[in-house]
Amino acid sequence: MISVKIEELKREEFTEALGVLNEAAKSYKKVLPPEAYKEPQMSLEEFSSEAERIKFLTAKLDGEIVGIMGYEYVGDAALVRHGYVKPSYQRMGIGSTLLKAIEEKIKSEGKVKKIIVGMYRRAYWAVSFWSKHGFMLIDNSEEVLRRYYNIPEVQIRNSIAMCKEV
């Protein structure tokens, strides 16, 4: 595991953070049906809009953003959103470090008792990552995704939700 610096995302870093997201999201091409995949995954305008309500953390190595992950509160849950690590830095503990920092923030803020994350069901690497960190598959994933997320129908049909108590 390498040592990264975790910081809150700054507005002037949006383009760099978006680059990490879009580069890492290319891995979905091999598991998503064509109607669910787009490239780039997100535009700067979409990312900026997301960053207005999502609190993003960055993982930096020598000043370079190599990972991002965000969270937001919706009702009685905290949602982990947009967790991505640059492909050349994956499997080095960066995602785990970001998740730990987010879980600590959510616990310290004390607003909710559960964390939910949604992901594409065929993204086996993501399912494995979240399972390894204590998240459990939610039986009624589609209902949960509709309740907590504002995402397109094609994304709901191709996704699952996992949950962890805090």
HSE (side-chain half, CA atoms, 13 Å) at 102:
32
Binned at pLDDT 50, 70 and 90, residue 107 comes out as very high
Tell me the pTM: 0.96
**Rounded Cα gap, residues 166 and 79, in angstroms:** 12
Residue 130: what residue type? W
- pLDDT, residue 84, reads 98
What is the DSSP code (8-state) at residue 77?
A: E
- For residue 135, the enclosing domain spans 5-165
- pLDDT, residue 163, reads 98
Tens digit of each residue's pLDDT (9 = 90 or more) over 108-162 = 999 999 999 999 999 999 999 999 999 999 999 999 999 999 999 999 999 999 9
Binned at pLDDT 50, 70 and 90, residue 82 comes out as very high
Q: How many domains does the chain have?
A: 1
Q: What is the CATH number for 25?
A: 3.40.630.30
- pLDDT, residue 152, reads 93
Output 1 or 102, whichever has higher pLDDT: 102
Phi, psi for residue 115 in degrees, rounded to 5: -115, 135
8 Å CB contact between 69 and 57: yes
What would the mean pLDDT of 11-28 be, rounded to a whole number?
Answer: 98
Helices (H) and strands (E) in the chain, counts: 6, 7
Contacts of 143 (CB under 8 A, 6+ apart): none
Assigned token pair, 18: 């978006």
Q: What DSSP letter does each residue of 86-144 carry, written as one string? A: -GGGTTSSHHHHHHHHHHHHHHHHT--SEEEEEEETT-HHHHHHHHHTT-EE-TTHHHH
Binned at pLDDT 50, 70 and 90, residue 32 comes out as very high
